Structure 1
Amino acid sequence: MTVDPDARPAAPAGEHSTRDRVLELVVSDGPVSAADLGLRLDLTSAAIRRHIASLEADGLVAVHESGHTGQRGRPARRYVATGSAQDPLAAGYTQFALEVMAHLEKFGGPAAVEDFATTNVAAREAGYAAALTATDPTARVQQLAEALTDDGFVASVRPVPGTQMVQLCQGHCPVQHVAARYPQLCDAEIAAFSRLLGTHVQRLSTLAGGAHVCTTNIPVGPPPGVPPDDRGPACATPVTPTTGTHPRPSGRTAEGMR
């Protein structure tokens, strides 16, 4: 029997499940350090390094330089999920969805795309509204995050230090590639969040726009006097907020993407 010298040895029983848990945390909590992953999963530094190296080799996680370790100013190595990890859709399904959207746009125009996006999100919004039973603003955002996670968006809530705001972070988007071409889907979603939470919310970054996470700023108390636009994102790669809710591709409009 011929042995491939480049083949990886089979992983011991249980290795894949632990590796999957590491990846799930990187998707939901990234950027996250190896030390944080070890604490969350009760694994040794050596074990975490092994799993991270394996995930990096498979193109599922990447280093995101952010923050400092506190040790002589060295930047902390933190990890985020790549597009390969965040996209479980088969390529064929994504292509089919894009072709359907293109057909809709061709024969119905931009208004038909907008109507589809609004109708699609409205179905989810009704379910989310039933799940938001808390009266406390932060608790309502947390309930929304849990409902989004149940729908496959891997959402979490993080406070923005020194502010009366939190950030809703979505580490995965089931329609990421479709939304990259048709940002009306993201626009409809952020409008739904605003209605559900009863406040103006601001989308800072999206997976569809090339960030490692979708990030939405949400006020949960009286503003302390600093405009929300001046606050840096706690869970996203810093971007310059746009006047719209989704950073549209440069030089392209919905009509120009047929």
Structure 2
Amino acid sequence: MKQDNGLSTRELIIQLLKTNGELSARDLTEHLGITGMAVRRHIDALERDGLIEPRTVRQPMGRPTAVYSLTAQAEHYFPKKYHAVALDLLGELASEAGEGMVERLFERRKETLFQKYANAMENKALSEKVAALASIQNENGYMAEWEQQNEDEYILKEHNCPISQIANKYNHACKCELGLFESLLGADVVRTECLAKGGKKCVYHIRKRKQHAD
């Protein structure tokens, strides 16, 4: 195998397992041209990190051999082009049914997400809701964090946007996210910085809604 010198040994092992399916420590040693002891150290570290898993293979002669394969967790090392497919499909939908249909699709997604997460917000104080929302967004890859400004105000920051390529073209995606946050939190939410508009992060200022007297 021709090795890319820009990759670390760890990354090369992951790449080899991706292209070969399963390999033993001896196989990896031969591919990489390093010592068996060095390969073993990397294997131990990759197992510990949950990126590879062993399987014992019985041999016609001699002791059984362990072969290694990637876990599902290792898939994040490989590029995915989901956004390109999504953009193509949204473009086709816009051509066939108009931009309004694309906007309605984002609205439906917002409603679906609200139904999915609304139970997590029930009977919670605003601070607990903001914490729960940050946790939800982290699970979805947004690298979110939050902080309390005072008793009634909070800031939520998202350092990553998994749908940034889509949001760059379809601003309604950002509008729907803002609406979703307002609905889930039951609070006033203002976005002051946006990744899709050239910002370094998405920043949301959250304020407790004032109770209006009857």
TM-score range, shorter chain: 0.5 to 0.7
Shift, 1:158, TM fit? 1.7
Q: CA RMSD in A?
A: 3.5
Q: 1:168 aligns with which of 134, 138, 156?
A: 156
- Aligned match of 2:204: 216
How big is the shift at 1:179? 0.8
Is 1:96 matched up with 2:85?
yes
Report what 1:139 is aligned to: 128
Q: Deviations over 1:19-57 (max 9, x none)?
A: xxxxxxxxxxxxxxxxxxxxxxxxxxxxxxxxxxxxxxx
Identify unmatched segments of 5+ residues in structure 1.
19-87, 223-258
2:168 maps to a residue whose letter is A
Provide closer, same or farther for how the CA distance between residues 109 and 163 of structure 1 changes in structure 2, counting only shifts above 3 A.
Answer: same
Equivalent residues of 1:134, 1:140 under 8 A apart: no
- Pair 3,94 (structure 1): closer, same or farther in 2 beyond 3 Å: closer
Q: Answer with 1 or 2: which has the greater Rg.
A: 2
Q: Which residue of 2 is the match for residue 25 of structure 1? A: none
Deviation at 1:221, TM superposition (A): 7.5
Deviation at 1:7, TM superposition (A): 5.5
Distance 1:186 1:3, change over 3 A: closer
Q: How does 1:84-233 map to 2 (within 5 A)?
A: 90-91=80-81, 93-160=82-149, 164-220=152-208
TM-score by length of 2: 0.59
After superposition, the Cα gap between the structure-2 partners of 1:90 and 1:8, relative to the gap in structure 1 and judged at 3 Å, is: closer
Task: Report if the CA contact (8 A) 2:152-2:207 is conserved.
Answer: yes
Give the direction of change, closer, same or farther, for the CA distance of 1:141–1:8 in structure 2 (3 Å limit). closer
Kindly indicate whether the alpha-carbon contact (under 8 Å) linking 1:154 and 1:171 is maintained by their aligned counterparts in 2.
yes
Residue 122 to residue 219, structure 1, CA distance change in 2 (3 Å)? same
In the aligned structure 2, how far is the partner of 1:148 from the partner of 1:9?
A: 30
Equivalent pair of 1:138/1:220 in contact (CA under 8 Å): no
Alpha-carbon distance in structure 2 between the residues aligned to 1:94 and 1:156:
24
Question: Kindly, what percent of the aligned residue pairs are identical?
Answer: 23
CA distance in 1, matches of 2:161, 2:8: 32
Which structure has greater helix proportion?
2
Change in 2 beyond 3 A, CA 1:131/1:9: closer
Task: Look up the SS of the partner of 1:204 in the other structure.
Answer: strand
For this pair of structures, how many residues does the alignment match? 153
Segments of 5+ residues of structure 2 without an aligned counterpart are 11-40, 50-77
**Would the aligned equivalents of 2:168 and 2:197 in 1 still touch at CA under 8 Å?**
yes
| Matched residue, 1:253 | none
Letter in 2 for 1:90: K
**How many Å apart are 1:186 and its aligned residue?**
1.0
Q: What SS class does the counterpart of residue 135 from structure 1 fall into?
A: coil
Residue 90 (structure 1) shift: 2.1
Q: Which amino acid aligns with 1:117?
A: F
Higher-RCO chain (CA-CA 8 Å, sequence separation at least 6): 1
Separation (CA, whole Å) in 2 of partners of 1:215 and 1:204: 6
Provide the C-alpha distance between the structure 1 equivalents of 2:3 and 2:105, rounded to a whole number of angstroms: 53
Distance (whole Å) between structure 2 residues aligned to residue 113 and residue 120 of structure 1: 11
Shift of 1:89: 6.0
Q: CA deviation at 1:104?
A: 1.4
